Structure formats: C-alpha cells, structure tokens
Amino acid sequence: MVLASLFFAFLAGALHIFIFTMESLTWTRPATWKRFGVASQPDAEIIKTMAYNQGFYNLFLAIRAFIGVGLVAFGAESGPVTAGWTLIFSCCGSMLLAATVLAFTGRKYLQAATTQGRVPLLAVVLGLLAVLQ
C-alpha cells in the first residue's frame, strides 16, 4: 500500500506540474486556453495574470507532493516519515478538494474534475490504508 500511495502521490504531483506548464508558461497558446474553456485570445489575455498565479499554486502543490514522497520513501526515522505523510495528505487532500469544487462548478467541468481528482484520491486512500495498518 505504501508504494502504491507514493506512486499516485508522485503522479498527482506530475499532473500538477503539467497544469503549471499550461497555466503559467503556455497560457496564451490557443490549444491551452481552449482546453480551459476560454472563448478567445483576447479573453485569454485578460485572465493571463490570474492563470499565471494559479499555475504557481499548482507548482507549489506538486513540489510538496514530491517532498512528501521523498521523505516517506527515504526517511529512515519516524520524524521524516511522519512529515512526509503529512505533506502527502495535505497536498493531495487539497488537490482532491479542489477537484470536488470544480465538479460542483458545472457539468462541463466533470471530466476535468475527474482527471484532477482521481490520482490524489488514490494517493490519499491508499496512504490511509498503509498508515492505519
């Protein structure tokens, strides 16, 4: 269970690196802003700063997930391992809650919410099963 949870926490981090790339680095490309449901290039320019900021939020979530995975995987003592699980549960839990909010935003966001929430959900559930054994 531990390895499976760490794998899904790592994948959740990787997904959020990809989201960071779209929101902060390639936002003004039509393929990117269309993926987010933005109607036009002028509209993408208007919300460019907000997307840029949101991208860094996703980057910081990913970094915390990676640090948590590293602490659990390589921590020889209980302190680092506990800190690692805390990071995994807090950042993957945040990812999962954000996906839940997105799902309740509207029907057209259900697929994106499922994509965003499935992997951190697996990390949290499998992590809880591992920790509670």
Q: What is the pLDDT of residues 12-26, one digit of tens each?
A: 999 999 999 999 999
Cβ-contact 89, 67 below 8 angstroms: no
Helices (H), 36-132: 41-46, 48-74, 78-105, 110-131
Q: Residue 41: helix, strand or coil by DSSP?
A: helix
pLDDT tens across 111-120, in order?
Answer: 999 999 999 9
Task: Give the span between the Cα atoms of 89 and 23, in whole angstroms.
Answer: 24
Q: How confident is the model at residue 69 (pLDDT cuts 50, 70, 90)?
A: very high
Token pair in block for residue 68: 């948590």
Q: For residue 110, what are the domain limits?
A: 2-131
Q: How confident is the model at residue 76 (pLDDT cuts 50, 70, 90)?
A: confident
Q: Is the pLDDT of residue 133 over 90?
A: no
- Number of folded domains that form the chain: 1
Arithmetic mean of pLDDT over the chain: 96
Q: Is the pLDDT of residue 52 over 90?
A: yes
